[in-house]
Amino acid sequence: MEADEGAQMHPAKAPSCKSQEMLHARLQADVRVYMKAVQQLEYSALKVGNDPSFRKALRDVQIARAAFIEARKKLNRHIASHNCG
């Protein structure tokens, strides 16, 4: 997925990092929201085609997906710049 993964040397690694822990927790929380939204969307799709609850579930999935992708980007950017991965 990440093209440059493992391509760089990181000579000085931070032993423990609060920022990374925070970003990682945020990512996990966002992934949980995303999985729950997908589950709800699948459930709605079985029952209805295009009613308001289906469209809301679809919107929730799109919002949750964007949030978790952003959280993953922030975590990867932080690890790359702070060498704490």
List interacting residues with Zn ion (CB under 5 A): 17, 19-20, 82, 84
Least CB distance from residue 33 to Zn ion, whole Å? 24
Return the number of the residue (17 or 38) whose C-beta is nearest Zn ion. 17
Return the number of the residue (9 or 46) whose C-beta is nearest Zn ion. 9
Least CB distance from residue 11 to Zn ion, whole Å? 15
CB 41 within 8 A of CB 60: yes
Radius of gyration of the chain (CA): 17
Least CB distance from residue 14 to Zn ion, whole Å? 5
CA–CA distances in Å: residue 71 to residues 24, 28, 41, 54, 67: 8, 9, 22, 26, 6
Q: Tell me the CB-side half-sphere exposure of residue 69, using CA atoms within 13 A.
A: 8
Return the number of the residue (21 or 70) whose C-beta is nearest Zn ion. 21
